[in-house]
Amino acid sequence: MSEFKQTFNSSLGKKLIMALTGLFLCTFLIVHLGGNLLLFKNDDGFAFNVYANFLTHFPPIEVIAYLLYLSILVHALYALILTIKNRKARPVGYAVQAKSDASWSSKNMGLLGSILFLFIVIHMSDFWYRYKYSGSMNYKEYRTDLSSGVTQSVEFAPTSTNFENSVQTENNFEIVRVKDLHERVQQSFSQWWYVLFYVIAMGAVSFHLLHGFQSAFRTMGWVHRKYTPIVEFIGTWFFAVIMPLGFAAMPVVYFFTRS
């Protein structure tokens, strides 16, 4: 046990933990983007609100969510520890800086990580905390005609303070009542400063993943002449380009078309 503890207390051990938590967060980003793309459906938030309700009321998903929160904190904490340790190891900069082959993103991971952590705090307080604990969320009722498939929505005011959601069938109509997180999304994305900050944060995500995704595989020793170019391609085009653009498109589209 002491050797195990010593390994993970070493610099290499901390980097390994950062690599594992970082790859777990990359997996979450894929799922999160897939769910958020439901915002582009022109259904008054029906699919997105049902998705949000499922995420917060399905026990296995809730367990994974708390593992996610823990991974974010551990990833950020270990990044801070390693940054401080590296600076203490070299308290005085060199008089002449040698030219480095390191990319801009690798040199500024601390700055990028700080922007992302601030974004996560604001983002979670604005959506996750309000949805789960604020008690200020409005509700929406969706009535789907089972014969035609047409869905209509109206505001819904629960009579009980303990009401969370309901699904029932009545007179050939499926009636779904859920918290209206879609309304909160519209409100947030109607503010120019929030949209700007969101886009800047997605830029930070892009540069952070441009270096971080490939670095995680190197840290774990998964370097191979045949497969490393594949990892670099996925890290560059999928995680550092496509995914940040997908996330950034949501606030921009909402601001210019739905606010």
Domain count, the chain: 2
| The model's pTM | 0.85
Is 98 domain-assigned? no
Digit-coded pLDDT (tens) for 228-237? 899 999 999 9
Is 84 domain-assigned? yes
Q: Among 147, 162, 179, give the residue marking a domain's end.
A: 179
Is 99 domain-assigned? no
- Name the band, by pLDDT with cuts 50, 70 and 90, for residue 226: confident
Q: Residue 151 pairs with which residues in a beta bridge?
A: 144
Q: Among 148, 179, 210, give the residue marking a domain's end.
A: 179
Query: Based on the domain organization, do 47 and 124 belong to the same domain?
Result: yes
- Statement: residue 101 has pLDDT above 70: no
Query: Based on the domain organization, do 35 and 117 belong to the same domain?
Result: yes
Residue bearing the bigger pLDDT, 198 or 222: 198
Is 191 domain-assigned? yes
Is 62 domain-assigned? yes
Query: Based on the domain organization, do 155 and 70 belong to the same domain?
Result: no
Query: Based on the domain organization, do 156 and 223 belong to the same domain?
Result: no
Query: Based on the domain organization, do 143 and 61 belong to the same domain?
Result: no
What CATH number has the domain bearing residue 17? 1.20.1300.10
Q: Which pLDDT score is estimated for 120?
A: 93
Q: Which pLDDT score is estimated for 12?
A: 77
Residue bearing the bigger pLDDT, 157 or 86: 157
CB 120 within 8 A of CB 69: no
Q: How many whole angstroms separate alpha carbon 26 and alpha carbon 149?
A: 36
- Please give the average per-residue pLDDT across 216-240, as a whole number: 89
Query: Based on the domain organization, do 37 and 116 belong to the same domain?
Result: yes
Query: Based on the domain organization, do 118 and 211 belong to the same domain?
Result: yes
Is 145 domain-assigned? yes
Digit-coded pLDDT (tens) for 24-53? 999 999 999 999 999 999 899 999 999 999
- Statement: residue 92 has pLDDT above 70: no
Query: Based on the domain organization, do 71 and 129 belong to the same domain?
Result: yes
- Statement: residue 122 has pLDDT above 80: yes
Domain that holds residue 150: 139-179
Query: Based on the domain organization, do 118 and 37 belong to the same domain?
Result: yes
Q: Kindly state the percentage of the chain with pLDDT values over 70.
A: 91
Is 103 domain-assigned? no
Q: Among 124, 148, 179, give the residue marking a domain's end.
A: 179
Who's near 108: CB < 8 A, 6+ residues apart?
207
Please give the mean pLDDT across all residues of the chain: 87
Query: Based on the domain organization, do 147 and 216 belong to the same domain?
Result: no
Distances (CA, A) of 50 to 34, 66, 154: 14, 20, 15
Q: How many whole angstroms separate alpha carbon 204 and alpha carbon 98?
A: 26
Query: Based on the domain organization, do 116 and 194 belong to the same domain?
Result: yes
Is 144 domain-assigned? yes
Digit-coded pLDDT (tens) for 168-204? 999 999 999 999 999 999 999 999 999 999 999 999 9
- Please give the average per-residue pLDDT across 125-154, as a whole number: 91
Query: Based on the domain organization, do 223 and 167 belong to the same domain?
Result: no
